[in-house]
Amino acid sequence: MDAIFWGGIQRLIEALTEASPTILVGLVIAAIFHRLTGREGTRRLFGEGTRWALPRAWAIGMLLPVCSLGAIPIVRQMRRDGISGGTILAFALTAPLFNPLSVLYGLSLSEPVVILSFAMASLLVVTVVGLAFDRLFPGVAETDDSPPAVSYGLKRMAAMFVSMAREAAGPTTGYILIGLLGVVLLNVLLPAGSLMSRMEQDNPYAALEMTAVAIPAYATPMIAMGQLGSMFQHGNSVSAAFVLLTLGAGANLGLLAWILRSYGLKRAGIWFVGLLAMVVGLAYAMDDPLTPKGIEPAGHTHAFDIYCCPYHPGSADLQMVSRKLSEEVMPHEVKALGVFVGLGLAGLALGRLDRRWRIETWLERPADPSADRPRSKYDLIVPAPVLGGVALIGLIAFSVLACYSYYPPADQIFDDLGIIKAEVLTAALSGDADHAEYFIPLYQDWTRRLQVSVYLREGSLSPYRRIKAQVLIDKVERLKHALEEGDRDEIRYYFAAVTAAHQRMRDAYRD
């Protein structure tokens, strides 16, 4: 029980901190729709009432950097703006799957045809399921009126903050917590390492088993792409990979709870059954054509350990959890979580203030024409819909530009890789498995980032360079297994193998 208890706490905190940055992005986008683009502007953006509504939802979802939890405030606002159910569900499933960062990451980890095939398959899924939903259940869109416009200037900025705060203190946070409960549920049901050999190519039920895991699971787009690449590199089931990406990254229990609450048991049930049938059917259809040739299955993988309990019985306590969290949680994630909590507290304070005075009454009060002052020719009034469009484009541009900071130049990556390699090999020689366990994933991750960096800056990645990077990743993985087994002869052998593979990769990328 100690492993399950402490493992549940660790998984909950990890998932919440990982999700916080994209939850904030979701709150910003929802506030843009609510206060800047407005009801009519949002409907025009998604092509509501036209044949292009579903493809637009798919395209917009692919460009915005949100996860399945961050999509919750957006879909709630889309429903208030009168967007059809099929379009909302198409956006909700697509937005968490792809963004510029994750697509580049995926292109470096597997063949481009795989990522493109998965992207086209996701478009087919959301289009067919969305069209069927709108055809079977027309007229389920809400018809709430758009709030009065807010005057330009500080009031408009304050209105954005108030919208985000109220959303953070409202049902959105409840649905996010429901989504995070799925992570805790998997921690209870799946013992440590129980998925290591379940997703192999020769398991005909791999896609079905992955479906059962992916529905309650939560994964950010980057994590899902990383697992996708690992599955291809280890020769795992392609059908299970597609299910993991579509349902693991694209949905969570909180999003499903919102769909059930918004559309009712019958509509939500029919939509969900249709979604599962499409996803699993396409997964099996793509399994054989996309299975990489010439890759010998590894027999087991640690890619899915993040969905299982992280500890074996008797190995967990508060000190262990604190150390793991300090290693796993990034500083920017902690800051984002602090902002999210602050918004929630501000929303609760506004709720108490509502008993005497609603701040929206002041924000929406029309400006006094007599108070107008002469403005210079540089003092322009930007219409709210235009400002909203610029903000959305800015988010997309920021997501693209972030690729260059997340994937720095190759020379800089090699400097970091040299430090990480020294930590890994020192831990291997001393037999410090815990120290190596922390740095080995970093070693492999930065090797993958190297591939993305070159692909991003040169527009291609030669098979020779890809192979050299993959050889190093495989050698590091085998060194990890040798450390786990405590075989000193194997540790010495793979110590030399990693050193040689690192130098050969360095020569290949610097030539």
Tokens of residue 303, six digits: 């890619």
What pTM was estimated for this model as a whole? 0.83
Q: What is the pLDDT of residues 348-383, one digit of tens each?
A: 999 998 888 888 888 888 765 554 455 555 566 777
Q: Is the pLDDT of residue 1 over 90?
A: no
Domain boundary residue, one of 325, 344, 363 = 344
**Please, are residues 438 and 327 in contact by the beta-carbon 8 Å criterion?**
yes
- Residue 169 confidence (pLDDT): 93
Position with higher pLDDT, 173 vs 428 = 173
**Please, are residues 249 and 67 in contact by the beta-carbon 8 Å criterion?**
yes
Name the band, by pLDDT with cuts 50, 70 and 90, for residue 172. very high
How large is the average pLDDT for residues 208-234?
78
Q: How many CB atoms lie within 10 A of CB 39?
A: 20
**Please, are residues 57 and 91 in contact by the beta-carbon 8 Å criterion?**
yes
Domain boundary residue, one of 344, 359, 392 = 344
Q: Is the pLDDT of residue 163 over 80?
A: yes
Task: Judge if 254 and 329 occupy the same domain.
Answer: yes
Q: Give the domain CATH number at 483.
A: 1.20.120.290
Does 166 fall in a domain? Answer: yes
Task: Judge if 257 and 330 occupy the same domain.
Answer: yes
How large is the average pLDDT for residues 43-63?
85
Name the band, by pLDDT with cuts 50, 70 and 90, for residue 478. confident
Q: Is the pLDDT of residue 433 over 80?
A: no
- Residue 492 confidence (pLDDT): 85
- Closest by CA to 21, choosing from 64, 81, 61, is 64
Does 157 fall in a domain? Answer: yes
Task: Judge if 188 and 288 occupy the same domain.
Answer: yes
- Is the Cα dihedral 405, 406, 411, 416 positive or negative? positive
Q: Is the pLDDT of residue 272 over 70?
A: yes
Name the band, by pLDDT with cuts 50, 70 and 90, for residue 187. confident
Domain of 474 in residue numbering reads as: 408-510
Query: 363-376 burial, b if ≥16 CB within 10 A, otherwise e?
Result: beeeeeeeeeeeee
Q: What is the pLDDT of residues 377-415, one digit of tens each?
A: 556 677 777 778 888 788 777 777 777 777 788 888 888
Given the structure tokens 């349902």, which residue do they identify?
247
Task: Judge if 328 and 439 occupy the same domain.
Answer: no
Name the band, by pLDDT with cuts 50, 70 and 90, for residue 467. confident
Task: Judge if 37 and 120 occupy the same domain.
Answer: yes
3-state helix, strand, coil in the chain (%, to 5): 75, 0, 25
Domain boundary residue, one of 344, 366, 400 = 344
Q: Write the DSSP symbol of residue 200.
A: B
Can you give the three-state secondary structure of 360-382, one letter per residue?
Answer: HHHHCCCCCHHHCCCCCCCCCCC
Q: Into how many domains does the chain fold?
A: 2
- C-alpha distances out from residue 90 to 62, 224, 285, Å: 11, 19, 21
End-to-end C-alpha distance for the chain, whole angstroms = 54
- Closest by CA to 297, choosing from 230, 236, 239, is 236
